[in-house]
A and B are shown apart, each in its own frame.
Chain A
Amino acid sequence: MKNKEEKGLVGREFVIVREYAAPRALVFRAWADPAYLSKWWGPRGFTNPVCDWDARPGRKIHVVMRSPGGDEFPMGGEFHEVVPNERIAFTSGALGADGAPLFEFLHVVTFEDRGKGTKLTVNSRITSAGPDAGRYIGGFEAGMTQSLERLGELLAPPTSG
């Protein structure tokens, strides 16, 4: 579907590029192994009591993120493409009370060598947005708080031994 001309949400995307001082196989495993993924997925302080994440094409995704206050944010999706140590493409979206997705993103995650480290690129494009998508904004207050905390850390870095 070509949505370039649409002025709405569908087709909009963002790209984030990061470099990590870790070998590519390890960074890939952090994405492909649910035992690893559940340790970092979601905003800071969140846990993932449910993490159905079997990184093989066609497999469904079901992750429940739990905030430090105990609120739960279920997420659904599906793996589209998995090339070990190179690329993972999957859809994901927050689920509403009825279990249907409020919106859906297609994420394409690529892994490349950068010296001894790894360059990670996350390309996220919104592929559908239902009438209740806007309601999910509340769930991101945690993200905002987290950004402020991070800013605080940058201004006063902890002394490491």
Chain B
Amino acid sequence: MLNYSSRGLDRVFGALADPTRRRMLERLSRGDCSVGELARPHRMSLPAISQHLGILESAGLVGRRRRGRVHRMRMRPGRLLQAESWIEEHRAAWEGRLDRLGKFLSELQSKEEKL
């Protein structure tokens, strides 16, 4: 049985809905970095950056390690696998739909043959 946590997924999608956060994740997918490095490409105040990071953290997409005063961020890909399985569910739904189309087509054809 598939075991989805719906609220967890809501958080993941909420986190991914923002372009700044997607760019942060993209940066982290290439390797760990400090909060400062993560903030650099964005024209934003540090509190704003922290807020975005907080959303990514509570969605479970990134983790934080403290080394003295420096906070290092890293990506936690497990949550994205859940997003992956969401897509897989859609694919499965489409497979079922196309099976149904096949059945419909053969019913149509057998009707035509009888006419």
Contact B90 A134 (CB under 8 A): no
A26 to B110, CA, bound (A): 13
Contact B22 A14 (CB under 8 A): no
Could you tell me which residues of chain A, from 1 to 51, have a CB within 8 Å of some CB in chain B?
5-10, 12, 14, 16, 18, 20-22, 26-27, 30, 36, 39-44
Contact A8 B105 (CB under 8 A): no
Chain A binding site: helix, strand, loop or mixed by DSSP?
A: mixed
Contact B6 A22 (CB under 8 A): no
Q: Mark A54-66, 1 if CB is under 8 A from B, else 0.
A: 0000000000000
Contact A135 B10 (CB under 8 A): yes
Contact B12 A134 (CB under 8 A): yes
Q: At the interface with chain A, which of B36-44, B66-74, B93-101?
A: B93-101
A144 to B101, CA, bound (A): 18
A90 to B75, CA, bound (A): 34
Could you tell me which residues of chain A, from 96 to 132, have a CB within 8 Å of some CB in chain B?
105, 120, 122, 124, 126, 129-132
Partner pick for B91 among A16, A18, A41, A144, CB 8 A cutoff? A16
Q: Given the complex, which residues of A lie within 8 Å of B91, measured CB to CB?
A: 14, 16, 124
A30 to B26, CA, bound (A): 41
CB distance from A161 to the nearest CB of B (A): 13
Could you tell me which residues of chain A, from 146 to 160, have a CB within 8 Å of some CB in chain B?
146-147, 150
Asked whether B92 is an interface residue with its Cβ less than 8 Å from the other chain, the reply is yes
Asked whether B106 is an interface residue with its Cβ less than 8 Å from the other chain, the reply is yes
Asked whether A138 is an interface residue with its Cβ less than 8 Å from the other chain, the reply is yes
Given contacts A122-B98, A133-B13, A134-B10, contact A144 B2 (CB under 8 A): yes
Q: List 28 A-B contacts (CB under 8 A).
A: A6-B26, A12-B83, A12-B87, A14-B87, A14-B94, A18-B98, A20-B105, A21-B106, A21-B109, A26-B105, A30-B108, A40-B97, A42-B100, A43-B97, A44-B99, A105-B90, A130-B13, A132-B13, A133-B13, A134-B13, A135-B10, A137-B4, A137-B89, A140-B90, A143-B92, A146-B96, A147-B92, A147-B96
Which B residues are within 8 Å of any A CB, using their own CB? 2, 4, 6, 9-10, 12-14, 16-17, 22, 25-26, 29, 75, 80, 83-84, 86-106, 108-109
